């Protein structure tokens, strides 16, 4: 090699090195900006009553649908586990609050057990001990500088209401309204953020179509639609009650919650299929509330009507809202609460049994075999899906104020939960890109979950906590995992630590 030639190469290499180092520097600057949380961003952790409280039949509490399912069908739950004791938080809530405080969380999302407040299911008998328990929890939070976010219903309704049809009976709308009034009246002076109903789609598909969750009804193709119909009405009734009776006094907010996967087209050929999946799975509950015209998405009404007809039904399996209800439901949210864990790729085709909501869509959802796994077979780690779905929600629904009310990942139990740290770091980065690059209005983020807890059909096997709970120990000892310390640093610094 001649001297001149090698000199030429060296200069070239130097130039390349220089230019890549400058652009590299820009990336770093850019990255840094994107690692910092906006001022006043709320950091919280979330749990739900049935998954942590225990104390299932004491202090005046009535039986819930989950109590009934786990006791009558232990075969449906991993290891026959129950929530009878769970993390024992009914007795150990002060420890939970101390952990939140130590880690620096500014908010806590918890749910109220409906039958703990109304053991008969109805407002004829209010259980004073149940009322007091949540006052104690809320006071303990506030004394420690932690703002409560209260979910009225996270899947455990009074069994007696289920005996009368539960979410398939449209009287449930008024039973829920009576319950909501009591909660608002009782806690409204202390709680400024309410979420009505956790994950309508999960309730209605798992509980009334597939029958894997309580109340275990297998009514595929009809049950899930009737259930969502009443859940939407119930949500709106609670919202309107707050609006007309409590807002002027308490100045709080009531949000609606949606559980979302990102539905990404496998490639551009399937853009339309992905849009259908969005409308079917997310538009189903969001279009009635956030669109200008209200009601179910037009494409969904059409598709379900067509399929129902082809199957020989006299009318569409999708129930109809009259004009009164369309107007009543439309606009019934002060903020959008988003639970997000994972994504699917969408292609054309069909899936699910006939008839079913799944099948009605006329699309197929698939899992990319390259996606990293977790301990839950449905949950693959897909950070980019988070940004994708946040942008879609903002675009479709006028960029409403949003809170991420659940996000997290499962493992089989370890204190050195590096996979969980990886999940949070990468998902948070995507959320910050959605905030800074796409302008999505996200005000806060609640991780799921503070504690390892009763993971429904998976019992205590799949663990989502940043705090380990020893379920062999009668005292349910809590131990901070590595991810808890990671979160402590992130909150203290107000930015994502990259090491
Ligand atoms: C949520 N999905 O349910 C629930 O709100 C929690 O109670 C639960 O512990 C947590 O997620 C973890 O499972 C989900 O299909 C149900 O994507 C379904 C899905 C995600 C979350």
Closest CA to ligand 1's atom 14: 202
Contact in structure between 461 and 412 (CB atoms under 8 Å)? yes
* Residue 3, domain member (yes or no): no
Question: What's residue 27's pLDDT?
Answer: 47
Does any domain span residue 367? yes
Q: Rounded to the nearest 5°, which phi and psi values hold at 294?
A: 75, -175
Q: Is residue 2 part of a domain?
A: no
**Alpha carbons 355 and 364: distance in angstroms, whole number:** 15
Strands 363-366 and 442-448, by their bridges, are: unpaired
Enclosing domain of residue 327: 11-493
Nearest-angstrom CA–CA distance, 107 and 204: 28
Q: Judge whether 307 and 355 are in contact, CB under 8 Å.
A: yes
Q: Is 261 touching ligand 1 by the criterion CB < 6 Å? A: yes
**Within a domain: residue 439?**
yes
Q: What does the pLDDT read at residue 499? A: 59
Q: Within a domain: residue 241?
A: yes
Rounded alpha-carbon distances, angstroms, from residue 314 to 46, 166, 284, 467: 44, 25, 22, 53
pTM of the predicted protein model? 0.94
Predicted local confidence at residue 32, as pLDDT:
76
Angle between helices 128-143 and 172-187 (to 10 degrees): 50
- Can you read off the two tokens belonging to residue 246? 């409590």
Q: How many CB atoms lie within 10 A of CB 494?
A: 13
6 domain residue, yes or no: no
From the CA of 202, how far away is ligand 1's center (Å)? 8
Question: Ligand 1 pocket: which of 53, 83, 259 to mutate (most atoms <8 Å of CB)?
Answer: 259
Options 406, 426, 437, 455, the catalytic residue: 406
**β 402-406/467-469 pair status:** unpaired
253: three-class secondary structure by DSSP:
strand
Question: Mean pLDDT of successive 10-residue segments in the chain (499 residues)?
Answer: 40 38 44 90 99 98 99 98 99 99 99 99 98 99 99 99 98 99 99 99 98 98 99 99 98 98 98 98 98 98 98 98 99 99 98 98 98 98 98 98 99 98 98 98 99 98 99 98 98 88
Task: Classify residue 345: in a domain, yes or no.
Answer: yes
Give the C-alpha separation, 454 to 78, whole Å. 10
22 CA distance to ligand 1 middle (Å): 44
Q: Write 391-396 long-range contacts (CB < 8 A, 24+).
A: 391/434, 391/438, 391/440, 392/262, 392/278, 392/282, 393/258, 393/260, 393/282, 393/286, 393/336, 393/338, 393/440, 394/434, 394/438, 394/439, 394/440, 394/441, 396/278, 396/282, 396/283, 396/286, 396/290, 396/291
Give yes or no for a contact between 188 and 252, defined as CB atoms under 8 angstroms apart. yes
pLDDT at 29: 47
CATH number for 160? 3.20.20.80
Q: What is the pLDDT of residue 286?
A: 99
Specify whether the CB–CB gap between 479 and 415 falls below 8 A: yes
Q: What is the DSSP letter of 38?
A: P
Is 323 assigned a catalytic role?
no
Residue 499 lies in a domain: no
Domain count, the chain: 1
């Amino acid at each position: 090699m001649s001297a001149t030639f090698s000199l030429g190469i060296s200069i070239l290499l130097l130039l390349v090195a220089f230019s890549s180092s400058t652009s590299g520097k820009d990336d770093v600057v850019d990255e840094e900006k994107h690692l910092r949380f906006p001022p006043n961003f709320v950091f919280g952790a979330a749990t739900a009553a049935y998954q942590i409280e225990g104390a299932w039949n004491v202090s005046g509490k009535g039986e819930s649908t989950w109590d009934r399912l786990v006791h009558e069908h232990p075969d449906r739950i991993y290891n026959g586990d129950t929530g009878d004791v769970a993390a024992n938080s009914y007795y150990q809530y002060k420890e939970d609050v101390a952990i939140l405080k130590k880690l620096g969380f500014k908010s806590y999302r918890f749910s109220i057990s409906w039958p703990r407040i109304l053991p008969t299911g109805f407002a004829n008998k209010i259980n004073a001990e149940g009322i007091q328990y949540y006052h104690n929890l809320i006071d303990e939070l506030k004394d420690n500088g932690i703002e409560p976010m209260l979910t009225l219903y996270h899947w455990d309704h009074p069994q007696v209401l289920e005996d009368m049809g539960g979410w398939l009976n449209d009287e449930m709308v008024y039973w829920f309204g009576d319950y909501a009034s009591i909660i608002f009246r009782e806690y409204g002076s202390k709680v400024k953020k309410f979420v009505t109903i956790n994950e309508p789609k999960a309730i209605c598909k798992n509980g009334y179509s597939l029958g894997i969750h309580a109340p275990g009804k297998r009514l595929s193709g009809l049950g899930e639609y009737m259930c969502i119909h009443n859940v939407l009405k119930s949500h709106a009734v609670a919202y309107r009650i707050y609006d007309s009776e409590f807002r002027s006094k308490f100045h709080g907010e009531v949000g609606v919650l949606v559980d979302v996967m990102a539905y990404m087209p496998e490639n551009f050929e399937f853009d339309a299929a992905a849009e259908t999946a969005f409308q079917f799975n997310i538009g189903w509950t969001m279009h009635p509330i956030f669109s200008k015209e209200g009601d179910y998405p037009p494409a969904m009404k059409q598709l379900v009507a067509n399929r129902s007809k082809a199957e020989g039904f006299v009318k569409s399996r999708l129930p109809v809202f009259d004009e009164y209800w369309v107007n009543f439901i439309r606009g019934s949210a002060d903020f959008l609460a988003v639970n997000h864990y994972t994504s699917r790729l969408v292609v054309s085709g069909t899936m699910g049994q006939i008839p079913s909501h799944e099948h009605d869509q006329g699309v197929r959802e698939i899992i990319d075999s390259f996606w990293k796994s977790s301990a839950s077979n449905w949950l693959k780690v897909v950070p980019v899906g988070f940004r994708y779905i946040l942008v879609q929600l903002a675009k479709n629904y006028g960029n409403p104020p949003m809170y991420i009310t659940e996000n997290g990942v499962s493992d089989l139990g370890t204190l050195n939960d590096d996979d969980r740290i990886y999940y949070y770091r990468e998902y948070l980065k995507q959320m910050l890109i959605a905030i800074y690059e796409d302008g999505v209005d996200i005000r806060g983020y609640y991780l799921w979950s503070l504690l390892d807890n009763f993971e429904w059909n998976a019992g205590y096997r799949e663990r989502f906590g940043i705090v380990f709970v020893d379920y062999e120990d009668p005292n349910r000892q809590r131990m901070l995992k590595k991810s808890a310390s990671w979160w402590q640093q992130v909150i203290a610094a107000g930015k994502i630590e990259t090491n």
